[in-house]
């Protein structure tokens, strides 16, 4: 086990793939939407979004929630009224947030490399033209990632007979269908801990920590972490040699 201080913090790039309060009635129209999101082509993305609207308009059951292209309010990528949705977005968008909580969070799946946006949220109350509002100053742009982001491996020094941990982590923007991290080892003494955490607005990190006590037979063995993203992409694992 030549392990090695220099290797202590080693980053390995790989790819993967595979498979893969009531803030609502605040008296004015405001929205808080992530401005730019890195999204993985063929996979999915979740756009965090919250909004407030004038107090007098609160028949929540009657709100029509819409996401549309900034360039044209009629080009709808999501609407409660399915017939209004652009053909190529039908079945690919879903509102995850509850409007009554002022939550307009949007999910898009099967992302195409030209789904860049910008996309803006709009509310329509069926009572008259004054009760409609497009948040065109708070839109989201997608930056396309043709390939999955690189998982990062970090590990402690491997010494025979001493506990060893190695962490594999990958950032993503689809908390509704999280990437899965797997290891090429499966001995009963291995302990795997999975941690999912929020990073900056719109970004998440999935982490898998593998812990075991290296034995002589582990000398020069390879440890491989594989990240599988929703949507089924080709896989290229990351590996380190002990
Ligand atoms: C909005 O809804 C999404 C999806 O249910 C949820 O994950 C998120 O935490 C909500 N945001 C807020 C601010 O409550």
Closest ligand 1 atom to residue 175 Cα is 7
Domain ranges of the chain: 26-145, 152-241
Ligand 1 centre distance from Cα of residue 73 (Å): 25
Q: How far is the CA of 103 from the centre of ligand 1 (A)?
A: 6
* DSSP code at position 109: -
Query: What pLDDT does residue 48 have?
Result: 97
Written out in words, the top-level CATH class of the domain with range 152-241 is mainly beta
Q: Which residue has better confidence, 238 or 146?
A: 146
DSSP 92: T
26-145: CATH architecture? Sandwich (2.60)
Say whether pLDDT at 101 is over 90: no
Which range has the worst mean pLDDT, 84-93, 132-141, 160-169?
A: 132-141
Examine the pLDDT at 74 and tell me if it is beyond 70. yes
Distance separating alpha carbons of residues 28 and 88, to the nearest angstrom = 33
**C-alpha distance from residue 234 to each of 19, 156, 185 (Å):** 6, 29, 21
pLDDT given for residue 96 in this prediction: 96
Q: Is 32 in the pocket of ligand 1 (CB under 6 A)?
A: no
Is the CB–ligand 1 distance for residue 52 below 6 Å? no
Decide if pLDDT at 1 tops 60.
no
Do 121 and 49 form a contact (C-beta atoms < 8 A)? yes
Q: Which two tokens stand for residue 227?
A: 């990240």
Q: pLDDT at residue 24 above 70?
A: no
Domains 26-145 and 152-241 share a fold: yes
* DSSP label of 151: P
Position with higher pLDDT, 52 vs 130: 52
Ligand 1 pocket, mutate which of 46, 97, 108 (most atoms under 8 A from CB): 97
**171 has a pLDDT exceeding 50:** yes
Q: How many CA atoms does the CB half-sphere of 125 hold within 13 Å?
A: 17
């Amino acid at each position: 086990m030549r392990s090695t201080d220099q290797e202590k913090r080693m980053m390995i790039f790989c790819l993967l793939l595979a498979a893969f309060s009531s803030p609502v009635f605040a008296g004015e129209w405001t929205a808080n939407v992530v401005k730019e999101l890195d999204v993985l082509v063929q996979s999915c993305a979740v756009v965090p979004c919250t909004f407030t609207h004038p107090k007098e308009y609160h028949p929540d059951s009657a709100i029509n929630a819409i996401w549309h292209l900034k360039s044209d309010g009629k080009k709808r990528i999501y609407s409660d009224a399915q017939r209004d949705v652009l053909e190529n977005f039908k079945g690919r968008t879903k509102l995850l947030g509850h409007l009554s909580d002022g939550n307009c969070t949007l999910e898009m799946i099967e992302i195409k490399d030209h789904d860049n946006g910008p996309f803006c949220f709009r509310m329509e109350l069926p009572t008259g033209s004054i009760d409609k509002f497009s948040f065109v100053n708070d839109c989201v742009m997608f930056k396309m990632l043709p390939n999955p982001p690189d998982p990062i491996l970090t590990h402690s020094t491997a010494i025979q007979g001493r506990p060893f941990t190695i962490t594999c982590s990958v950032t993503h923007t689809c908390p509704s269908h999280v990437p899965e991290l797997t290891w090429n080892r499966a001995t009963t003494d291995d302990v795997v801990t999975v941690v999912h955490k929020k990073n900056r607005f719109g970004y998440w990190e999935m982490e898998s920590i593998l812990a075991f006590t290296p034995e002589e037979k582990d000398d020069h063995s390879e440890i491989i972490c594989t990240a599988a993203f929703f949507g089924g992409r080709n896989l290229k694992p990351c590996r380190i040699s002990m």
